[in-house]
Amino acid sequence: MPKQVSNVASDDYLSAIYRLSHDEGQDVIAVRLADRLDITPPSVAGMLKRLIRDGLVTQDSRKVIKLTPEGLRRAEQMVRRHRLAECLLTDVLKIEWWRAYDEAHLLEHGISDITEPHLFETLKHPKRSPFGYPIPGSGRDEELSMVTLADLEEGETTIIDRVFEEDEQLLRFFWEEGILPGKPVTLESVAPYRGTVTALLGERSVVMGTQVAQRIWVKPPPGRAHCGGKGEET
């Protein structure tokens, strides 16, 4: 009999908690988790009880959810496999960049302890995913920038660090406009009453909503800390 994949639902929750807290610097609360997973709050409450019972998460007096050491280990394992799958899809199978997140989600649970190191070797030890996120276990755990494009001052120039990967339509927009990790970007102008910003990418000016700009993390400009500023979501 083939080996069966288990703990899919709990691993998806742990991965989502990791992404929200580690990758985006947000406090993880139940309503935010429900929104990210597109699941009803009662369903999230039920799963949280199970995860707390199993020693994978804790919830403090402010209802902020945090991974325990074992929960973090499980989350990093699944995120690592997901991001290796993204690299496989884009680098080897030549799947369109903007499709890679959703396709990798279908593959991540099928990567075993046996397959994973061979995949890592075949891919020549990647350290970042196609969307700019560090691959856990692939090197030094660097401090991630929480500065977004929306946090920049007009005229500031920097490098795109990573982009939000969990929305295929948004990824397609990023691809078509050349909003990619490693690319230089300048914040040309801000129109607060319109809720838009204009960014210069190469020789092209791209207008986007402020909420979209908050989904583009950039390297901190000189003199800036890694934390974000005015553009953060509340």
| pLDDT value for 204 | 93
User: How far is 57 from 67, CA to CA, in rounded Å?
Assistant: 4
What is the reported pLDDT for 1? 46
Domains of the chain: 8-70 (1.10.10.10), 149-218 (2.30.30.90)
Model confidence pTM above 0.85: yes
CA dist 132 → 86, 109, 146, 165, 187 (Å) = 11, 21, 13, 9, 20
Confidence at residue 166, expressed as pLDDT on a 0 to 100 scale: 96
In 3D space, the residue among 147, 127, 152, 154 whose CA is nearest the CA of residue 215 turns out to be 147
Dump strand ranges (E) for the chain. Answer: 57-59, 65-67, 157-163, 184-191, 196-201, 204-209, 216-218
User: Residue 186 corresponds to which amino acid?
Assistant: T
DSSP helix/strand/coil, 30: helix
- The 3-state DSSP composition of the chain as helix, strand, coil percent (nearest 5) reads 45, 15, 40
**C-alpha separations of 111 from 5, 29, 145, 230 in Å:** 9, 29, 29, 40
Per-residue confidence (pLDDT) for residue 227, from 0 to 100: 76
A 10 A CB-CB count for 100 gives 26
Give pLDDT, residue 229. 61
Sign of CA dihedral 187, 153, 19, 73: positive
Under-50 pLDDT residues of the chain: 1, 231-234
What pLDDT shows up at residue 222? Answer: 80
Q: Residues 73, 140, 8, CA angle at the centre, nearest 5°?
A: 25
**Residue type for 33, please?**
L
